[in-house]
Amino acid sequence: MSPYIQKAARDLAAQPGRALLVCLAIALGAAALTVAVAARSVLLREIPASFDTADPPAAVFRLEDVDEQLLDRVRALPGVVDADARRLVRARVEVAPADWRTLLLFGVRDFADLRVSSFEKLAGQASPARGAVLVERSGLPVLGVGIGDEIAVRVPAGASATLPVQGIVHDPALAPGWQDNAAYAYASRETLADLGLGSHLDELRITVNGNRSDTAVVADDVAGWLSRNGYEVFRVEIPPRRHPHADHMATMLLLLSVFSGLALLLSGALAASVTAALLARQARQIGIMKAIGARSRDIASIYLAMIVVLALPATALGMGAGLFGARAFSGFAGRQLNLDIASYAVGAPTLLAIVCAGLAVPLLAAALPIARAVRMPVQKALQNPGIAVPRAKGDVLPLVGRLGRPAVLAVRNSFRRPARLWLTLFALALGGAALMTAGNVHVSLIAAVDRSLERRGDNIDIRLLKPVNAAGILAGVRTMPGVAHAEAWGGALVALSAGQSPGLSRGRYGLLAPPPDTALLDVPIVEGRWPASDAIGELVVNRNLQAIEPALVVGGEVRLALGQRSLSARVVGVIEEVAEPSLYTNPGTFAALAGTEGLAGVIRVTTEPGGEARLASEIEEVIVEAGSIPALLFTRPALRQAMVDHFAILLALLSAAALAAIVVGGLSLAVSMGLNVLERTREIGVIRAIGARPAAVRKLILMEGYAIACASVLLGGFLSVPLSAAVTYIVGHHGLHLTLPLVLSATGVIVWSVLVIILTLIACIGSVRRAIKMPVCQAIAYG
């Protein structure tokens, strides 16, 4: 074996404690980096892959009925890969007495031959018997049922039925039901017919080759062919080919990239700190080697070899732990999105990149201290005591002097190794900043939700499946005890076409038409203006809709379609709100589109506090009596919870990152304190020799730790401001399409202060024990 390697290995063996600390630091950095990079890699691959397993439709045509003969003919059309028939019935399901929730009931052509919008059987039967249903797994928490149980369903015509659950399936193209307070069920044509809904399947769903613009061409061709062959096409949709929560995913992946960078920085800081300490103890040996003829490159080779010897197993260890962490996080993210992660494998290039970073970071970190050691004159190196001898007292705070000699000693000792102090402070402060950022972003999100709900003012929001007479429904609702205020808005799901393809709908979105004097909407315009009260065809869109339909800019023209009627409109304003993609207009425009005045598609109610749930249930009965059912019904607490649940994955990611940063920061402190105490073994021996009791030594080390901890709270507080601003911006603009307020929460500072006290205590325990345990004479002889 090369003498270089031999020396490196034996030096390390002679200082197993330090070698272990260096390994731990490098392993931690590698683990943090691996979690972030590997999780990003897995999710980037698996999210679209899992979504694609559902064979999501490229285009959906709304027809009268789709039979097998039509499907065969469509499958044969150019550009069409496959076709299937489906029907979506918006129904209600009773999850507790008088507690109804949204149920999306899908009519399925053939459970044994799912060609588009397929789903996977998880348990029970693959095909439900007539009069039974399968349910999608993400709605199970809402339904609270299992196989063999029954669900009570209310369908648009107002009929109710009890349907047994015969199986559980997974449909990765659906947003998690629990997040939307909704459930999904699948039934056969015959079951739909038994419910009084008729046996027809009115959606023709096709898959095509190519991208979205190819899809538009194929969809146009198919729509034309259908019309030429006598099929009346009521609507054509080209759904966005992405998961319903794609924005959240993109934000999460972006944040993972940010945290990868932070992990790299932390890893570097930690590695630099410990390798510098390792080399400091070698200064005399470097002097000796130089004295006997070693050249700079010989010495550099020895110490680089030493770092490689440490970094190789440490990186392997860190990667192993990191891959385990990445697997856990990816699995969690998948569950949050109702996606299954088919493979947690990380590609060879990614692994190679992590290995390279894992080795390069400590090598780069060690380069500076190695260069410094190599340049040191022989005489100076031979006399190097291995620990910095201060040239100035360096009292940072005059106040420290008043705390007594031990405090002075502790604080001055903290500044003994300025570079290590800064690296430790940086790592610890970054942990604190990450925690405070997680707290700040959480508060900011909640504040945005609450502000959004406050601006609406209602306690109950109901979207009707079928419009009803506004005056009639209002008369019924306003007289209910506990109702403070009620409004009936025009509203419906409208198809829209932006661009030069008249009649081609890109998607269906909620159009809301509040009365001009509404007391239940106060959303500030961020671009343009609100529609004039008497102007027909003016629209306001929210940013969420703009994210899906970028053509909808102020001044953009769009054609709205509702049933058989359509209307040209122009976007005049843009708003930001925590809501689903929506358009707003005035009642006149809605009436022109609907073809009749006085219809209500939305009911918003303000109640006396606490009575929302009971009143919602009573209002639902009034709606049913009026001949419709709610397509969506949210009380304010339920809506708030649903909104917050949508952020759960982002908050979990922030919390995980904060936790990781805290662990790394805490270990960084432990490593730093361990090295500080190790280097000052002799000094501690002297202090004990002149009468310091174990308690005094303990206090001295803890004070030094707390000096660093206090500084980390201050620095972390400062760092958290730009970090919070950046993450708030990313989450707001990329994830939610709104400007989130930058909130600096005092809670984060308090929590971090408490945590850092505990962390310091834990971090210093080992050092304190070691300092006290070593016999005084041995401590004095140390060096």
Of 678, 485, 87, 15, give the one whose Cα is nearest residue 285: 15
> How many angstroms separate the CA atoms of 436 and 203, rounded?
49
C-alpha distances (whole Å) from 709 to each of 415, 419, 444, 703, 757 are: 13, 16, 27, 9, 7
In terms of DSSP H, where are the helices of 281-377?
Answer: 283-291, 296-336, 348-375
Please report the sign of the dihedral spanned by the C-alpha atoms of residue 341, residue 347, residue 353, residue 358.
positive
Q: What is the secondary structure of 414-427 as a DSSP string?
A: HTSSHHHHHHHHHH
Minimum Å gap between C-beta 703 and other proteins is 13
Which residues sit opposite 183 in a β-bridge?
Answer: 103
**What 3-state class would DSSP assign to 56?**
coil
Residue with smaller CB distance to other proteins, 535 or 689 = 689
Closest distance to other proteins from the beta carbon of 373 (Å): 21
Q: Which residues contact 691 (CB under 8 A, 6 or more apart)?
A: none
- The two tokens of residue 764 are 């210093």
Residue 691 C-beta: closest distance to other proteins, Å: 2
Least Cβ distance, residue 701 to other proteins (angstroms) = 14
What does the angle CA 616 – CA 622 – CA 624 come to, to the nearest 5 degrees? Answer: 100
- Which amino acid is present at 695? A
If the CB atoms of residues 73 and 769 are measured against other proteins, the closer one turns out to be 769
Q: CB-wise, 682 or 734, nearer to other proteins?
A: 682
Give the shortest CB-773-to-other proteins separation in angstroms: 9
Nearer to other proteins, 407 or 453 (CB): 407
Which DSSP state fits 398? G
Whole-angstrom distance, CA of residue 35 vs CA of residue 19: 24
In the complex, least distance from residue 8 CB atom to other proteins, rounded to whole angstroms: 20
Output 146 or 404, the one with its CB closest to other proteins.
Answer: 404
> Exposed/middle/buried for 356, CB within 10 Å: 0-12, 13-18, 19+?
exposed
Enumerate residues 6+ apart whose C-beta is below 8 A from 226: 61, 63, 204, 233
Q: How far is the CB of 407 from other proteins (least distance, A)?
A: 11
Reported for 645-650, long-range contacts at CB under 8 A and 24+ positions apart, including other chains, are 645/178, 645/179, 646/179, 646/245, 646/248, 647/248, 647/445, 648/179, 648/336, 649/248, 649/252, 649/332, 649/333, 649/336, 649/337, 650/248, 650/251, 650/252, 650/255, 650/441, 650/445, 650/731, 650/735
Residue 695 beta carbon to other proteins: minimum distance, rounded to whole angstroms: 7
121 vs 682, beta carbon nearer other proteins: 682
* Beta carbon nearer to other proteins, 689 or 754: 689
Query: Which CB atom, from 10 or from 391, has the smaller least distance to other proteins?
Result: 391
Helix (H, G, I), strand (E, B) or coil at 628: coil
Residues 6+ apart with CB under 8 A from 349: none
Nearest approach, Cβ of residue 451 and other proteins (Å):
52
Q: Report the distance separating Cα 543 and Cα 6, nearest Å.
A: 64
Nearer of residues 746 and 777 to other proteins, judged by Cβ: 777
Q: Rounded to the nearest whole angstrom, what is the least distance from the CB of residue 689 to other proteins in the complex?
A: 5
Least distance to other proteins from the beta carbon of 389, Å?
A: 5
C-beta of 595 vs 783, nearer to other proteins: 783
Nearer to other proteins, 130 or 773 (CB): 773
* Tokens representing residue 751 in the block: 């929590």
Of 665 and 685, which CB lies nearer to other proteins in the complex structure? 685
Rounded to a whole number of angstroms, the distance between the first and last alpha carbons of the chain is 29
**Cβ–Cβ < 8 Å for 634, 460:** yes
Three-state DSSP state, 202: coil
For 605, phi then psi, to 5°, come to: -135, 140
Residues that bind other proteins (CB under 8 A): 389-393, 404-406, 408-409, 412-413, 416, 682-683, 686-696, 772, 775-778, 780
Name the amino acid, one letter, at 450. D
What are the C-alpha distances in Å from 538 to residues 150, 571, 620?
A: 47, 6, 31
Q: Select 87 or 281, whichever has its Cβ closest to other proteins.
A: 281
CB of 399 to other proteins, least distance (A): 16
Least separation in angstroms between CB 426 and other proteins: 22
